[in-house]
Amino acid sequence: MEQRDMRGHYAGLAAEYDEHWVYDSDYVPWMASQIAEALQLSPNDRIADIGSGTGLFAREVVRQIRPHHPLLCVDPSEAMLSRLGTPPSPGLTPVVASAEDIAEKRVDLPYGQFDAMWLKESVHHVTDPGHTLQGLADSLAPGGRILVVMLPASIQYPLFEAALARFEELQPDPAAIEGHLRAAGLEASLTHVEHELRIDRDKYLGMVRARYMSLLSTFSDSEIEKGIEEIRVAHPEPVLVFPDRFAFVLGRRREEGV
Ligand SMILES: C[S@@+](CC[C@H](N)C(=O)[O-])C[C@H]1O[C@@H](n2cnc3c(N)ncnc32)[C@H](O)[C@@H]1O
């Protein structure tokens, strides 16, 4: 998606974004604790959430970890960042910038180096992930960690066939991201975490109509309506139950002299 279209997509989605994800009250705390555990976050860390969107997960990480330094929520969409609140929720500092801006040091930041950062479901928006991840890796302090949270190469969501096929065409491969982190000089690993989602079918159809995934904005209104009809027929059950599986690609910068 072009940067301009992507901004338009998230500007339209920002107001209701969080609503889509709080249907399952366990999901956000579960994901935040998975992120905190994988990154081995501690209160003294200087942390950034790159492509933070509305700060839904950053806010929960702050609640769980209580960092001593503000957690930077970095996102190019002002509309998404505005959901951090006015003033922003305690412990969160919004930064209007892209991953590329941070990687290329085009913005002034309160920290010269980071102890930990994550990109959750934002790496697919980065134009040249190898180059950008190299720049982000360079901004890590010795022992610093970076985590890329992303959907795997294929998903088992109850979407219509054309959407699942397009997802597979567009989604970057987590193994390639792991390769980029290694090429950036980090120790890298790839694991998966999984959470069972249970969503009221009508609510899910509403999310598809609202194009809750950026992938869905590549379909016209009539294609979306046709897709919704296809889902209705394939899933007569009132509650949809399906696995939400994420790849966790972790990179760690070696300590100095190691
Ligand atoms: C699917 S949302 C994920 C938001 C949040 N990480 C979450 O999991 O709720 C993707 C976010 O990536 C942001 N984004 C788009 N292009 C980006 C880029 N080049 N660098 C960083 N973030 C970007 C969008 O504005 C959007 O907020």
Residue 67 banded pLDDT, cuts 50, 70, 90:
very high
Residue linked to tokens 């190299």:
134
Nearest CA to ligand 1 atom 15: 125
- The amino acid that residue 32 corresponds to is A
Distance 234 CA to ligand 1 centre (A): 31
Q: 31 is written with which tokens?
A: 């994901």
What's the pLDDT at 8?
Answer: 80
Q: What is the C-alpha to C-alpha distance for residues 169 and 146, in angstroms, rounded to an integer?
A: 26
What's the pLDDT at 2?
Answer: 59
Q: What is the C-alpha to C-alpha distance for residues 137 and 173, in angstroms, rounded to an integer?
A: 19
pLDDT tens column, 93-113: 999 999 999 999 999 999 999
Residue 242 banded pLDDT, cuts 50, 70, 90:
very high
Distance 237 CA to ligand 1 centre (A): 32
Q: In a 3-state reduction of DSSP, which class is residue 50?
A: strand
What's the pLDDT at 235?
Answer: 97
Q: What is the C-alpha to C-alpha distance for residues 77 and 121, in angstroms, rounded to an integer?
A: 14
User: Pocket residues for ligand 1 (CB within 6 Å)?
Assistant: 6, 10, 50-53, 56-57, 75-77, 80, 98-100, 120-122, 125-126
Domains of the chain listed by start with CATH number: 3-197+245-252 (3.40.50.150)
Query: Would you say residue 126 has pLDDT above 70?
Result: yes
Identify which of 131, 126, 227 has the alpha carbon closest to the alpha carbon of residue 170: 126
Residue linked to tokens 């003033």:
87
pLDDT tens column, 181-233: 999 999 999 999 999 988 899 999 999 999 999 899 999 999 999 999 999 99
